[in-house]
Structure 1
């Protein structure tokens, strides 16, 4: 039985699970669509929806991962056996991977930077939507997020950018806490603190 927690409690304890520490079960198509519906409810100046999703599921994840491995080996022929295994599993570490693609472009009224931020908000919303549906998630950008030679393989069009790959599955280990920044180091008060 799933326990409901408040949004405040969730945000106070939210943690990403490393992709390689997730496994089956993953969300089915209807659940992924429900997550994407929630993820798309973000601030979006001008209602441009300057982002889109690519969902990787099933056997195609292994095929794409193998191609990414070939690209990685071609770029670094001395890649260790351990790293070759990592490359061959890029999209198979979790049952579902969703690419959030930024389609930000110059606009007469909406700065491109705001469009990029909207895509980042989609990534975080998707992480939270996956968690709200009882799954674990991790927002990653790895080398192939920035290598345009990999874009055709991944279904990314020229001029688009990867805001993140959201890996979704079931945690195989409990989450652990990590150090967080001290507010005194990251907050500037203007006009007083009371």
Structure 2
């Protein structure tokens, strides 16, 4: 457990653009995805699913994003949009399928999908890879989402970019506990 504590105390994100090949082989990816699903899930609804974007599909997804960006009339760098899914050798979209339920609040379902994202990041590290959890504008654009296979009523909780880190990233400042911790005191 000491290794786990040390990892959690020092975990850092490697930017997707600094993740190279190799990416996990299928059996390892399956294990990582299985670990990712071990999250709080009130009602056992599994209110999430995965879309794996790898190989040539990364370029195809980038072309879709560039086409949609160009058609939107916004000032976006189309080369950057084409490369959105090629920054890392593997991208896993974690799709939140949260929906109204008679007993389970939708918000709890959304939080469960977020927990899946974080577990997938931890699983990548546990297998010797690194990962970055991103959303960016594409996670909120319905046309992009439909093109990627995300149904109406579903949302992307995150795009998890996975690969082999080129270097160990420097740590960044973390908030002082006194800035983020309060104690309830009954009045």
Please indicate the TM-score interval, normalised by the length of the shorter structure: over 0.9
Q: Hey, what's the Cα distance between the residues in 2 that align with 1:76 and 1:25?
A: 36
The answer on 1:55 being equivalent to 2:49 is no
The alpha-carbon deviation at position 73 of structure 1 amounts to: 2.0
Counterpart residue number, 2:139: 145
The answer on 1:32 being equivalent to 2:29 is yes
- Per the alignment, in what secondary structure is the counterpart of residue 43 of structure 2? helix
The alpha-carbon deviation at position 78 of structure 1 amounts to: 4.1
Counterpart residue number, 1:95: 89
The alpha-carbon deviation at position 153 of structure 1 amounts to: 1.5
Provide the aligned C-alpha RMSD in A: 1.6
CA offsets per residue over residues 33-69 of structure 1, 9 Å max, x none? 1000000000000000000011111101101101101
Counterpart residue number, 2:180: 186
TM-score computed with the length of structure 1 as normaliser: 0.91
The alpha-carbon deviation at position 86 of structure 1 amounts to: 1.5
When residues 78 and 144 of structure 1 are mapped into structure 2, their CA distance, relative to the original with a 3 A threshold, is closer
CA offsets per residue over residues 62-108 of structure 1, 9 Å max, x none? 011011012112223543xxx32211111111111000000001111
Question: Could you list the runs of 4 or more consecutive aligned residues of structure 1 that deviate by over 4 angstroms after TM superposition?
Answer: none
TM-score computed with the length of structure 2 as normaliser: 0.95
The alpha-carbon deviation at position 159 of structure 1 amounts to: 0.7
Q: Hey, what's the Cα distance between the residues in 2 that align with 1:188 and 1:35?
A: 35
Unmatched runs of 5 consecutive residues or more in structure 1: none
Q: Hey, what's the Cα distance between the residues in 2 that align with 1:75 and 1:182?
A: 42
